[in-house]
């Protein structure tokens, strides 16, 4: 099989070739070309486009191309399903999805900076995903700190710190400011990004991602944003006569089906059923 995608690969465009060669077609060939040349070259080479908007093999809703390959080829290996959210988080800049996503992005960006030849970059990148796969399959329980005494001391220290902070949790200034920024932007910025906000606060996104749940009701950044958007959707259902597709757009969901799935997850009801259950005569015109 031959596959073709955009030049200068970083996350999906290296992760997907790795997945294809390791689990679908070991002899697969890959071509990296400028975006505007993909259609012509695909026809000339009889190659399948991937990770471009108009292709079958691309992003869908909140899933990336790596997710689609796993679904399309019905790959059941549990280690791949551990890798999938790591790749997705790195590829979509939502590092709250998996703690390893920010590291994968940093390594991939650095590798791309150092290597200018896309085919050499692919071969070096394959080693990264070989390593990630081995970790996911065999080494998740391994810790860097192996000395039993050192591990015991760390456990005692962490227990002490948990007890101390549990007695009086002080919310840091950055968390308060972050909450204000999210509240200010949630109505107008439909692509609210943890990376963007963190950089605005001059704090590394990986740190914010790791610490976020401590100060936001044990929710990750993505979960917290979805919760706020569902709350906004409920308010719109109560106060306007907008259609569900309009409400899905106004609350930042990619489409109505995505909105319906998340709404049901948080409320237990489809938005259409929720809307029908509202008392009549209590909604205003579109506002």
Run of H or E residues at 32: strand 29-33
User: Given this model, what pLDDT does residue 287 score?
Assistant: 47
- The reported pTM is 0.54
User: Given this model, what pLDDT does residue 40 score?
Assistant: 96
Per-10-residue mean pLDDT for the chain, 287 residues long?
95 97 96 95 96 92 93 95 94 88 94 95 96 92 62 61 55 80 70 75 78 84 86 89 86 82 89 85 49
Domains of the chain listed by start with CATH number: 2-139 (no CATH), 223-276 (1.10.10.60)
What gap in Å lies between CA 201 and CA 194, rounded to an integer? 11
**According to DSSP H, which parts of 141-201 are helical?**
148-167, 173-185, 194-200
CB atoms within 10 A of CB 225: 20
CA-to-CA dists, residue 229 to 156, 176, 192, angstroms: 40, 19, 11
**Where do we find the tokens 């489409």?**
255
What gap in Å lies between CA 201 and CA 232, rounded to an integer? 25
User: Given this model, what pLDDT does residue 285 score?
Assistant: 47
User: Given this model, what pLDDT does residue 121 score?
Assistant: 96
CB atoms within 10 A of CB 159: 10
What gap in Å lies between CA 44 and CA 54, rounded to an integer? 18
HSE (CB half, 13 Å, CA atoms) of 186?
A: 19
User: Given this model, what pLDDT does residue 8 score?
Assistant: 95
What gap in Å lies between CA 21 and CA 16, rounded to an integer? 9
CB atoms within 10 A of CB 140: 9
User: Given this model, what pLDDT does residue 189 score?
Assistant: 62
């Amino acid at each position: 099989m031959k596959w073709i995608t955009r030049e200068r690969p970083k996350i999906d465009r290296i992760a997907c070739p790795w997945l294809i060669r390791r689990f679908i077609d070991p002899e697969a060939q890959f071509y990296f070309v400028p975006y505007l040349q993909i259609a012509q070259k695909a026809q000339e080479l009889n190659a399948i486009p991937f990770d471009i908007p108009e292709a079958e093999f691309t992003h869908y809703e909140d899933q990336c191309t790596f997710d689609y390959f796993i679904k399309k080829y019905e790959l059941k290996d549990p280690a791949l399903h551990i890798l999938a959210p790591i790749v997705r988080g790195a590829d979509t800049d939502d590092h709250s999805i998996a703690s390893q996503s920010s590291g994968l992005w940093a390594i991939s960006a650095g590798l791309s900076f150092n290597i200018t030849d896309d085919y050499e970059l692919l071969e070096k990148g394959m080693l990264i995903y070989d390593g990630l796969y081995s970790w996911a399959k065999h080494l998740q329980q391994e810790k860097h700190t192996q000395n039993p005494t050192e591990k015991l001391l760390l456990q005692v220290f962490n227990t002490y710190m948990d007890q101390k902070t549990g007695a009086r949790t002080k919310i840091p200034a950055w968390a308060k400011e972050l909450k204000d920024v999210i509240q200010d932007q949630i109505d107008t910025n439909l692509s609210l990004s943890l990376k963007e906000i963190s950089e605005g606060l001059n704090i590394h996104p990986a740190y914010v991602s790791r610490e976020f749940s401590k100060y936001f009701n044990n929710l990750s950044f993505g979960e917290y944003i979805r919760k706020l958007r569902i709350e906004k959707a409920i308010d719109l259902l109560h106060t306007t006569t907008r259609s569900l597709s309009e409400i899905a757009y106004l609350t930042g969901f990619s489409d109505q089906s995505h909105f319906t799935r998340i709404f049901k997850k948080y409320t237990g009801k489809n938005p259409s059923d929720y809307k029908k259950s509202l008392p009549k005569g209590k909604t205003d015109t579109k506002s």
